[in-house]
Structure 1
Amino acid sequence: MRRRTVLAGLGGLLAFPRAARAQADPALPVVGYLGPESPGPFASRLAAFREGLAEAGVIEGRDVGIDFRWAEGRYERLPDLARELVARRVAVLAAPGGAPVALAAKGVTATIPIVFEMGGDPVALGVVQDLARPRGNLTGVSSLSVEVSGKRLEYLHEAVPGARSFAVAFNPTSPTAPSQLRALHEAAGTLGVQLRISPVRGEEDFASVFAEAAALRPGGLVFTSDPYFALRSRLLADLARRHALPAVTQTRDFPLAGGLMSYGGDFTQTHRLAGLYTGRILKGERPADLPVQLVTKVELFVNLAAAAALGLTVPTSLLVGADTVIE
């Protein structure tokens, strides 16, 4: 995997998605798109999803319409929004954006094809019975990025070797939170460090989480894998700078916005593959015949400017292993 160097000034690279139609062309089949957030934060993911559709020979507006429902970060709304799309008799229900979206979609229909995209293990979470033969009406893509939460702590400890305690922020509504916390505790035991676990139930909790983590100096803050955190990368990076706090999240968006580092799956690849599967199902293939795709690529981003501002010298071993170093 070749390491890349990215220069500063990357803001504005992600174009805002085309405005969603209030009503799709009635002559076209419709994909129901269930999103956990809003169109703005999902811009790059939507672009990747449309690329996948195009790879299957399906173009929005020409071959298919897309009807969107956005939960605006409120996961409890997902089941009702999924029911709205089912009531529209959509041809395929696209459920990218994590396990909560997939489980909400699965809970409202056993007949409409569903294509999910998540970071957790779809078998362990009860989304499908088998990866190679998913059976039923669901298939999709998993990056298994929730499996690397412990490694995220290891990398942050390598960047801040004098730390003896770290804070961990997790989303208590996430079905993957228990397994991620177990992995983090195991990693902490191996490293000989203490963890302070803090639930985040909404954006109002971030200020106290960062303030408490900053009091652990010279520690840092580890975020579990969760779309809620991933799609608030700019906010998290701003808070990390304000509190002069080393932090690591799952998505490259965090170091690109000025945070220290990230370690997780490539969301553009997983969303593109979800779009590809959606297109193939629209062309007649069955979800049961499409094995769940596992994206095994996990990428490490390190922001050297953020490290310098924190007074940290990133070890050469960490830089050599990084996929992308931002200077």
Structure 2
Amino acid sequence: MKKRLYSTAAITLFTGILLAGCGDESEKSSTGNESEKDAFKIGVTQLVQHDSLDQAYEGFQAALKDSDIKAKYDLQIAQGDQNNSQTIANNFVGDKVDLIFANSTPSALSSVNATKDIPIVFTSVTDPVAAELVSSLEKPGGNVTGTTDSHPEAIEKSMKFLAEELGAKTIGTVYNTGEQNSVVQIKNVKAEAKKAGLKIVEASVSTSAEVKQATESLIGKADALYIITDNTVVSALESVISVANEQDIPLFVGELDSVNAGGFAAYGFSYYDIGYEAGEKAVEILKDDKKPGDIAVQYPQKLKLVINETAAKEMGIEIKEEWKANAEFVK
């Protein structure tokens, strides 16, 4: 499929419809008339469209609305293409937006490359220090801050569950080696897997169209699957789920939206929550006039084990009674 940028007009129209459907009055004055003069211009750059990133964007908007900040959003989707991400960021600089909300590591990197002046708030970034977005989590520096989509204990707990509760020995994983976010996570997965006595078998992809074939290549090599928060793979998660269901392979995932989509389980958090927390940082910048570089980057605040009962049945996994004391269940 030919990759392209959504036109600004089309996306702005779509965003307006979406906000109207959610009852968002961020672009209207108290009299109900649009108040362009008083509204902040916020450029939203997002690598791809999938549930997790979309939820983060919704959370971001909600935080600004709850703080009575009027905003006009320009949502741009890069269709998984880093070059598109850079073009989007450059266009936002040319449009002189008041703030850029960067939803993914590639989106944040492009934004930082495009401007050192316009405030940037990111989310859905696994390791902002390793990606060289910020100097440190406590004192980001420059014009950047945000929230991460990596909890320090999530991968460790996931590997332990796979080994101790499911009796897995070899874990298969699919990821895009071109995503900095994913490279960092896989490094951590390997380290925690080794501690848990697990072997990792990898399959790499560069586009979402390759995900199903890559997953199928792991059949017979892995007795469980673990999918990190890789944007390319998560955008085609239904392909992974179909293989897991057909082959009765337990599918552990990296975040809760993927559990709701059909993954077996995850130690995760809500992307809506980290989007909301990123929005709160934007409020500090726009309303309280704080400098982004002085606002600490934040980890997800709520980590929990969630198990999909329907997915467990599809994958031939028997729910243990003792899991019920520590897990939240969805169907």
Q: Is the 8 A contact 1:135 1:288 kept in 2?
A: yes
Across the aligned residues of Structure 1 and Structure 2, the Cα RMSD in angstroms comes to 2.8
TM-score (norm 2): 0.81
SS at match of 2:121: strand
| Rounded Cα–Cα distance in structure 2 between residues aligned with 1:262 and 1:18 | 35
Moved more, 187-196 or 267-276: 187-196
| Rounded Cα–Cα distance in structure 2 between residues aligned with 1:41 and 1:239 | 21
SS at match of 2:14: coil
| Rounded Cα–Cα distance in structure 1 between residues aligned with 2:125 and 2:329 | 23
Query: In the superposition, relative to structure 1, how do residues 147 and 103 fare at CA in structure 2: closer, same or farther (>3 Å)?
Result: farther
What residue number does 1:30 align with?
41
Deviation at 1:138, TM superposition (A): 0.8
Matched, 1:66 2:73: yes
For residues 226-237 of structure 1, what are the structure 2 equivalents within 5 Å?
Answer: 226-237=230-241
Instruction: Select 1:250's aligned residue among 244, 249, 254.
Output: 254
Q: What's the CA shift string for 1:165-219, capped at 9, x where partnerless?
A: 22111221121333322322233323333221111211222222222223236x0
Matched, 1:294 2:299: yes
For residues 1-327 of structure 1, what are the structure 2 equivalents within 5 Å?
Answer: 19-21=14-16, 27=37, 28-38=39-49, 42-58=53-69, 63-96=70-103, 98-145=104-151, 148-161=154-167, 163-216=168-221, 219-283=223-287, 284-322=289-327, 324-327=328-331
Query: In the superposition, relative to structure 1, how do residues 245 and 19 fare at CA in structure 2: closer, same or farther (>3 Å)?
Result: same
Sequence identity (%): 22
What residue number does 1:6 align with?
none
More contact order relative to length (CA 8 Å, sep ≥ 6):
1
SS at match of 2:217: helix
Q: Is the 8 A contact 2:46 2:76 kept in 1?
A: yes
Q: Unpaired runs of 5+ in structure 1?
A: 1-16
Q: What's the CA shift string for 1:134-157, capped at 9, x where partnerless?
A: 221111112434763343233233
TM-score (norm 1): 0.82
Deviation at 1:159, TM superposition (A): 4.2
SS at match of 1:183: helix
Query: In the superposition, relative to structure 1, how do residues 50 and 214 fare at CA in structure 2: closer, same or farther (>3 Å)?
Result: same
What residue number does 2:6 align with?
none
SS at match of 2:319: coil
Q: Is the 8 A contact 2:145 2:292 kept in 1?
A: yes
Structure number with higher helix proportion: 2
Deviation at 1:317, TM superposition (A): 4.1
Deviation at 1:113, TM superposition (A): 0.6
Query: In the superposition, relative to structure 1, how do residues 82 and 147 fare at CA in structure 2: closer, same or farther (>3 Å)?
Result: farther
| Rounded Cα–Cα distance in structure 1 between residues aligned with 2:145 and 2:323 | 36
Q: What number of residue pairs does the alignment pair up?
A: 303
Q: Is the 8 A contact 1:256 1:303 kept in 2?
A: yes
